[in-house]
Chains A and B, each alone.
Chain A
Amino acid sequence: MVGIKSYGAYIPRYRMNHNTLFMAVAFLGSFPAPGENAIANHDEDTLTMAVAAGIDCLSGVKREMVDGLYLATTSQPYMVRQNSALMATALDLKADIRTADFIGSTKSGTTALLSALDSAKGDTSSNVLVCASDCRLSKPGSPQESLYGDGAASLLVGNEDLIATLEGAHSVSYDFPDRWRASGEKFEHAWEDRFIRDSGYGQFIAEVISGLLKKCSLSIKDFARIVYPGLYAREHGAIAKRLGADPSQLQDTLLSSVGDTGSASPLMMFVAALEDAKPGDRILVASFGDGGDAMSFQVTDKIKGLADRRAVKKHMASKKDLASYEKYLAFRNLAPMDLGMRGEISIKTPMSALFRERKVILSLCGSKCQKCGTPQYPYQRVCVNPDCGAIDQMEEYRFSDKNGVLFTYTGDNLAASIDPPSVYGVVDFDGGGRFWFDLTDCDLDSVKVGMPVEMTFRKRYVDESSGVHGYSWKAAPVRA
């Protein structure tokens, strides 16, 4: 038996109300439907959100157990340099695991999940972490701009201790040219909406679900929850009607609260369904994109024993309005802002140093003195405790999963930042260890000495001259 062992999600803190968007682009004749979209902060992207969802999913799970990591996305930062391998380092997973990127289609989230389930069935991996994440760039004023939201979901797949077991799966594949983006292009192209809706969305989802039901000898009425993405609100309901489902069985599409999160969308909805699920519930999960995948799961008793996590619900509730469309454009570098000459000083990443120091930079690992027990970041060979000073008696110590308190801070208007002031401070970690970090997802006015903080993996810079997306860890107020 294979299935789901744990789940997690991530939704960025910022939301942009469609009214804000409307006020900015109405002159183009764009009239978005009511609602809001989740907007990644300027230091977030597909990878950072996937890492955050992965961390949420691994709540209460030993990282050493994970033996596979699949990333699904259509907006990966690197075309060459495996994004999932970078993620595995950020998550401080062991090196002897299988990593893979599933890209190029919005069904990649469910395809990655199916592949993980296959690995578990074939006994090649028993704890595969699947992260689906999308932070898609859309052309200002385009219909996608109001449709697309940023978010990520994560599922741990295995063959024991399952909270939901897989009953069956079915896939269909069509070269459906609804949206496309060629290599080297920044934005997606899209064909006419009515074509996408009538020839693709409305057809494939029904087709793949019908195929699944036939294969599993199940009726649509057997499902407590039915998950499939909601690209078109009215058509979403019409598909259910054609399948003979009751509207009450349909899982909320998150379309008006988060937006269409691409590869992540069906898995985020699945996570939301699992949050409310009771043992015995059947959940149907289907995706859309170049055809689609469909799976049937049955929830087990073990769902009651899951450790606390944020998943979709808590992330949804914890939000801040991004009141300026121009700021959003600046976050995405769609309106290049002047950062002054100081902002032109770019950080060059020496790749050999990045690899050598990957545990420190990307995994946020330091050391713990085996003689006096002092945790220290970054990794030290000589103990920093003045009363100890032991040399080479260190063991590796992970700080990314430790919270801390803010020892001191500032809001710096001189430092070049796309979102000034640049807030940073010194963190005292619970259990010991101190270092300084940038602070993110916070407003200077609400930052206080002694405030609890958590660590979050973020994009530090993009050096366009060398094509490097640099990442490191920042501190953030513990999110509600």
Chain B
Amino acid sequence: MAEGIKDKVAIIGMGCTKFGELWDKSAEDLMVDAFKECMEDAGIEKKDIGAAWFGVHFEEQSVGKGATPLSLTLKLPFIPVTRTENFCATGTEAFRGACYGVASGAYDIALALGVEKLKDTGYGGLPGGPSLMGTKNALIMPKLTAPGAFAMLATRYFSVYGLNPEEGKSMLAKVSVKSHYNGARNPKAHLRREVTEEQIIKAPIIAWPLGLFDCCGVSDGSAAAIVTRADMAKKFRPDPIHVKALQIALSSGEELMYTKWDGAHVETTSRGAKSAYEEAGVKNPREEISMAEVHDCFSITEAVTMEDLQFSPRGKVKEDIEAGRFNLDGPQPVQPDGGLKCFGHPIGASGLRMLYEMYKQLQGKVQLPERQIKNPKLGLTHNLGGFPPMNIVSIAIIGL
């Protein structure tokens, strides 16, 4: 059994832009904004950075291929920069690269920066379709959209656990009510309006059974982190945040092409979570994980993720949602910053945005005190890139 990453790496600075439909900001503007905040927070200079990892998913919509967009924009002085791309796990992949870079001793300080400029496409939702999945898939797969792919998870969940559409939609609506409540209290969030369960249920259907408010925001934004070796961290700040686990799990094909998967959970999340808890030494996630930012691209994704992360027993998340377990004032707050749902979802930046919220919460430095969670110990972030039967999941656990 490998040693793992636990307590080998610390985050000493983070930055995150406001997310939203930022018509007057380019991807480059967003990168500079996130980098500036991050560097000020870390209190270091550009020459201190040994290497950088740069995450962007839809590079063709914004910055172009390769890693030079980061080096050119930030004027990085001929240091190594690596481009990462792994669907919605892209930002966390950049962070993972930077962590491994310093943990190996190859570099003392590394930068991870994720960015996405989605609002230059001219239409709502994510760009794409089957062509994102390669030549052969483009010719045999349905013309899937993200809402459609996750709607099939909802259809299946309702069917497996015997929820009629009304019961199912009411459960999902409560997920979004909570995230809107949190997002409304976050100045950097994309969507900042509280909504009621009734509004959510009555909203237009995007992909049955998911309605408008079951879907997250499609946003522009950027987020960044500076990491260093744990033994060096206190030199930079008194409250560095330590990496406890960094895991990634990818579909093997058995979900989509073999008939064992029940379609009502996400196998990668469930496997990645097990590995992450083992790496971090977490025995009882429901009790030990203080808070989480999970990949709520759709309300159903968050609901199912609660079960896959073992926050809720299988098939029982409805009870926890109804009891307010994941609310800001509940025993295990989830999406305290509004989540993808309201903070927004610039693909390449999302993983780092989640870490930003956990980092600030752990330091007790949340922008508006009404969102501050009391004495959190461990924060978990989770990204799910791709579609429920064919995806990439990243899980990070950080703590004091």
Contact = CB atoms under 8 A, between A and B. Distances in A.
Interface string A109-147: 000000000000000000000000000000000000000
A384 B258 contact: yes
B232 interface: no
Interface in B147-163: 147-148, 151-153, 155-156, 159
A380 B253 contact: yes
Nearest to B205: A413
Interface in A344-389: 345, 347, 349-350, 353-354, 357, 360-361, 374, 376-378, 380, 384-386
Nearest to A422: B143
Given A340-B123, A424-B148, A436-B256, A412 B207 contact: yes
Contacts of B144: 412, 415, 424, 436
Contacts of B258: 374, 376, 384-386, 434
B399 interface: no
Interface string A466-478: 0000101100000
Contacts of A433: 257, 259
Interface in A406-425: 407-417, 421-422, 424-425
Nearest to B208: A411
Contacts of B208: 410-412, 421, 444
Contact of A385 (B122, B147, B254): B254
A437 B389 CA distance: 13
A281 interface: no
B138 interface: yes
A422 B208 CA distance: 10
Contact of B143 (A353, A415, A426): A415
Interface stretch (B48-56, B125-133, B189-197): B125-133
A414 B125 contact: yes
A428 interface: yes
B152 to A, nearest CB: 4
Interface in B101-148: 121-125, 127, 129-131, 135-136, 138-145, 147-148
A234 interface: no
A235 B96 CA distance: 80
Contacts of B151: 410, 412
Contacts of B206: 412-414
A449 interface: yes
B263 interface: yes
A437 B257 CA distance: 12
Interface centre among B131, B155, B210, B253 (most CB of A within 10 A): B155
Given A341-B122, A353-B136, A410-B152, A416 B389 contact: no
A416 B207 CA distance: 12
B148 A350 contact: no
A435 interface: yes
B32 to A, nearest CB: 29
Nearest to B210: A410
Which 6 A-B pairs rank lowest in CB-CB distance, beginning with the nearest? A424-B142, A412-B148, A410-B151, A408-B156, A449-B159, A412-B207
15 contacts: A345-B131, A357-B136, A361-B140, A377-B257, A384-B252, A385-B254, A407-B156, A412-B208, A415-B129, A421-B205, A421-B207, A425-B152, A434-B258, A460-B139, A473-B140
Given A421-B208, A435-B140, 10 more contacts: A349-B139, A378-B140, A380-B253, A384-B252, A410-B151, A414-B145, A415-B145, A415-B148, A421-B205, A449-B155
Interface of B: 121-125, 127, 129-131, 135-136, 138-145, 147-148, 151-153, 155-156, 159, 204-210, 252-254, 256-260, 263, 389
